[in-house]
């Protein structure tokens, strides 16, 4: 599965919130989508999934709904869980995308997803009674159980404790290493630098940089996109980024 977006534009209230995006994400990639608040990250992810109307070409949205559900799973930014189903039942909802799968395959996918997010001890708890971070892990497990070649996640590590954040970033890199594609919006530049194979900087609905972390996270790009200064060192396991200060405009 290759997500191919060409000249994708999404308008909200007449304004192009996503403006002529060209983007391809393929197997083996863990792509971090970065950008300031309001840059259009959520809109881009939802548009890519065919959840918002858009102009342009979109390989995923072009698929019939049932096929799309087997091609891409989504962890949304909102963490509200409406029904007091158990964690196990919530995760099993990811299997709705595979109505013809054998029971064994469903069971294995749910167990693997629960294990990947360390949710086994919480499996019988009502999902509505979990903490915010636990709910995030349960929703991510539901997406994993869907067992798709593409995983799209909107701020998947927001609100997670440091160990869980690293765990999720490693999990995503592992999925990419086994040949899947992961596209995730992120605000933690340091973790993105360390774990993603590719970064995209989005600014006012347009891509301003796209490439390996070491070429995207330059002083100039960080200043232009986020208005911050940072120290970027290059360690053996990738760039190490330390935020230093905001840039104050002088006129
Ligand atoms: N339903 C809507 N109607 C009108 N404008 C919207 C709507 N949803 C989002 N927008 C606007 O689109 C722009 C992009 O929003 P989006 O949620 O995609 O940003 P984001 O990069 O995900 O931000 P954040 O980092 O704060 O989550 C913002 O200016 C936002 O106000």
pLDDT attached to residue 249 = 62
Q: What per-residue confidence (pLDDT) applies to 80?
A: 80
Q: Give the ligand 1 atom nearest the CA of 205.
A: 14
pLDDT at 31: 98
Q: Would you say 123 and 114 are in contact if contact means Cβ atoms under 8 Å apart? A: yes
Task: Give the pLDDT of residue 233.
Answer: 86
For residue 64, tell me if it sits in a domain.
Answer: yes
Instruction: Give the pLDDT score at 251.
Output: 43
Q: Which atom of ligand 1 is nearest to the CA of 46?
A: 18
38 alpha carbon – ligand 1 mean position (Å): 5
Q: Look at residue 17 and tell me if it is in a domain.
A: yes
Structural domain includes residue 185: yes
Q: Residue 167: which of 191, 139, 138 has the closest Cα?
A: 191
Q: Are 233 and 219 in contact (CB under 8 A)?
A: no
- Residue 89 falls within a domain, yes or no? no
Q: Which ligand 1 atom is at minimum distance from the Cα of 77?
A: 27
- Can you say how many angstroms the Cα of residue 216 is from the centroid of all Cα atoms in its chain? 18
The residue to which tokens 């609100």 are assigned: 159
Contact assessment for residue 54 and residue 47, using Cβ atoms and an 8 Å cutoff: yes
**What is the position in ligand 1's atom list of the atom closest to the CA of 154?**
22
The pLDDT of residue 9 is 97
Assigned domain for 163 exists = yes
- Is 99 part of a structural domain of the chain? no
Q: Among 39, 74, 225, which residue has the most ligand 1 atoms within 8 Å of its CB, making it the best to mutate?
A: 39
Rounded Cα distance, 150 and 201, in Å: 20
CB atoms within 10 A of CB 211: 12
Give distance in angstroms: CA of 216 to centre of ligand 1: 23
For tokens 């301003």, name the residue.
Answer: 208
Residue-level pLDDT at 231:
85
Closest CA to 187 of 71, 32, 19, 16: 32
pLDDT of residue 238: 78
Q: SS3 helix, strand, coil % of the chain, rounded to 5?
A: 40, 30, 30
Ligand 1 pocket test: which of 14, 17, 52 has the largest number of ligand atoms within 8 Å of its C-beta? 17
Distance (angstroms) between ligand 1 centre and the Cα of 40 equals 6
CATH of the domain at 152: 3.40.50.300
Residue 103 CA to residue 30 CA, distance in Å, equals 30
20, burial (CB in 10 Å: exposed 0-12, middle 13-18, buried 19+) = middle
Contact call for residues 206 and 41 (beta carbons, < 8 A): no
pLDDT at 94: 94
* pLDDT value of position 82: 82
Tell me the CA–centroid distance for residue 12 and ligand 1, in Å: 9
ipTM of the predicted structure? 0.97
Which two three-digit tokens encode residue 199?
């970064």
**Count of CB atoms within 10 A of residue 26's CB?**
14
Q: How far is the CA of 134 from the centre of ligand 1 (A)?
A: 25
Number of domains in the chain: 1
What's the token pair of residue 91? 């995760």
Give the integer Cα–Cα distance in Å for 158 and 165: 8
Domain of residue 180, residue span: 3-84+146-246
Instruction: Name the closest-CA residue to atom 30, ligand 1.
Output: 38
- Residue 58 located in a structural domain: yes
Tens place of pLDDT for every residue, the chain, 251 residues? 799 999 999 999 999 999 999 999 999 999 999 999 999 999 999 999 999 999 999 999 999 999 999 999 999 988 788 888 999 999 999 999 998 888 899 999 999 999 999 999 999 999 999 999 999 999 999 999 999 999 999 999 999 999 999 999 999 999 999 999 999 999 999 999 999 999 999 999 999 999 999 999 998 999 999 999 888 888 877 788 888 999 866 54
Q: Which of 8, 21, 36, 40 to mutate to test the pocket of ligand 1 (most atoms within 8 A of CB)?
A: 40
Task: Spell out which residues line ligand 1, taking CB within 6 angstroms.
Answer: 12-13, 17, 35, 37-43
Counting atoms of ligand 1 from 1, which one is nearest the CA of 39? 21
* CA dist 104 → 16, 29, 109 (Å): 46, 29, 9
Q: Given the CA of residue 187, which atom of ligand 1 is nearest to it?
A: 25
Strand arrangement of the beta sheet that strand 3-12 belongs to: 15-25, 3-12, 55-58
What pLDDT, on the 0 to 100 scale, is given for residue 237?
76
Could you tell me the two tokens for 99? 């109505």
Indicate whether 74 belongs to any domain.
yes
């Amino acid at each position: 599965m290759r997500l191919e977006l060409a000249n994708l534009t999404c308008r909200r209230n007449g304004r192009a919130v996503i403006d002529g995006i060209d983007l391809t994400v393929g197997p083996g990639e863990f792509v971090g989508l970065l950008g300031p608040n309001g840059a259009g990250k959520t809109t881009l992810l939802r548009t890519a999934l065919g959840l918002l109307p858009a102009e342009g070409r979109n390989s995923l949205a072009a698929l019939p709904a049932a096929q799309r559900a087997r091609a891409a799973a989504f962890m949304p930014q909102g963490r509200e869980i409406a029904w007091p189903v158990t964690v196990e039942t919530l995760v099993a909802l990811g299997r709705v995308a595979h109505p013809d799968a054998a029971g064994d395959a469903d069971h294995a996918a749910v167990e693997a997803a629960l294990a990947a997010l360390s949710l086994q001890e919480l499996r019988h708890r009502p999902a509505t009674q979990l903490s915010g971070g636990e709910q995030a892990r349960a929703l991510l497990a539901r997406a994993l159980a869907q067992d798709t070649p593409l995983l799209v996640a909107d701020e998947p590590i927001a609100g997670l404790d440091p160990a869980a954040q690293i765990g999720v970033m490693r999990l995503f890199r592992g999925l990419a290493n086994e040949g899947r594609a992961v596209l995730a919006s992120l605000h933690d530049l340091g973790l993105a630098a360390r774990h993603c194979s590719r970064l995209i900087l989005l600014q006012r609905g347009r891509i301003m940089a796209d490439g390996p972390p070491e070429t995207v996270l330059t002083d100039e790009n960080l200043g232009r996109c986020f208005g911050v200064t940072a120290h970027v060192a290059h360690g053996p396991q990738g760039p190490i980024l330390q935020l230093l200060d905001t840039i104050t405009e002088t006129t």
